[in-house]
Amino acid sequence: MGTVSVSVDCGGFGAIPNSGPNNLGMWLQNLSGCSPVGTHFMTVFRHNHLRLSQGPSMHKHSPWGLVAEERISAQVQESMSFPRTMAHILMMTATSGTNLELAEKFAENARSKGHGTEIIDLAEIDLPMFTIARSKSEDAPDVSDLVGKLTDADAWVIIAPEYNGSMPPTLNNAIAWMSTDWKQFRDMCTGKPVGLATHSGGGGAHVIMAMRQQFSFIGADVIGRACLSGRDKEANPETIDAMIDNLAR
């Protein structure tokens, strides 16, 4: 998903209907409703206090006196970049608690940009321990819904605490169950943009390395930037913001 850069000079937005305020309202509604670009454009107008008022001053495109009294910066802060297409980003957390809270921060950021989100809590799913024997028995869990959600998502954020210098058992276990159908699993993972995050008592560098190796091995496109947080380090909002933008491209 690419990005579009837009530079706007309010004084030249022209094309304002000249037959009354109802037509202007329709013009603004169409602008904001036709696409994410239009919606973002109108948001910037509002945030920069564009004032429309009737007065003695006449605009060549609005003889009934409706004029724009302010320009938006010089060129909407020179230029804006924003997603052309909204993405569906799935957050999968290996544990509840602080890592689930971190997943919610990613989801909140993504939603603020207009993306669709979903959070999967592996601790809540509570898959049984994987063994070859169990995978061939009638007691094998049905993971088709989990696989379907991961397949349909445009990108993933995997959030997990560090356990003994590596990934927690819940994440390893879920990967083992989903990979029983190897072809389906590879199709699900290959080329998928993946971001990594952790809230760990020991800093989390080791679990990030372990997850990077694991998800790269199964064919995912793991982005370079990761979010590490812990007892003495809050998750950096700028890191979360940059990761969501990267995953949504």
What pairs with residue 52 in β-bridges? Answer: 68
pLDDT grade for 203, boundaries at 50, 70 and 90? confident
- Pairing mode of beta strands 193-199, 221-229: parallel
The share of the chain scoring above pLDDT 70, in percent, equals 66
Element (H, E) at 139: none
pLDDT grade for 69, boundaries at 50, 70 and 90? very low
List C-alpha distances in Å: 126 to 21, 84, 123, 170, 246.
Answer: 58, 37, 5, 8, 31
Mean pLDDT of 176-191: 96
Residue 146 has pLDDT above 80, yes or no: yes
The answer to whether the pTM exceeds 0.85 is no
The span from the CA of 5 to the CA of 72, in Å, is 16
List C-alpha distances in Å: 136 to 130, 139, 147.
Answer: 10, 8, 18
SS3 state at 56: coil
Residue 79 has pLDDT above 50, yes or no: no
- Per-residue pLDDT reduced to its tens digit, 21-53: 444 444 444 544 444 444 444 443 444 433 333
- Per-residue pLDDT reduced to its tens digit, 103-125: 999 999 999 999 999 999 999 99
Rg of the chain over Cα atoms, rounded to whole angstroms, equals: 24
Cα dihedral 191, 197, 202, 205, rounded to 10, equals 40
Produce one character per residue of 43-65: b if its CB has 16 or more CB atoms within 10 Å, e if not. Answer: ebbeebebeeeeeeeeeeebeee
Mean pLDDT of 61-74: 40
pLDDT grade for 18, boundaries at 50, 70 and 90? very low
- Pairing mode of beta strands 3-6, 80-83: antiparallel
Q: What mean pLDDT value characterizes the chain?
A: 78
Predicted local distance difference test score (pLDDT) of residue 202: 85
The span from the CA of 185 to the CA of 135, in Å, is 15
Residue the block writes with tokens 């990030």: 208
The span from the CA of 53 to the CA of 199, in Å, is 51
- Do the Cβ atoms of 233 and 202 come closer than 8 Å? no
pLDDT grade for 68, boundaries at 50, 70 and 90? very low
pLDDT grade for 199, boundaries at 50, 70 and 90? very high
Cα–Cα nearest to 91, from 217, 227, 234, 229? 227
Spell out the alpha helix ranges (H) of the chain.
Answer: 21-33, 36-47, 98-112, 122-125, 132-135, 144-152, 169-178, 182-189, 205-217, 237-247
**Domains in the chain, CATH or no CATH each:** 3-82 (no CATH), 86-247 (3.40.50.360)
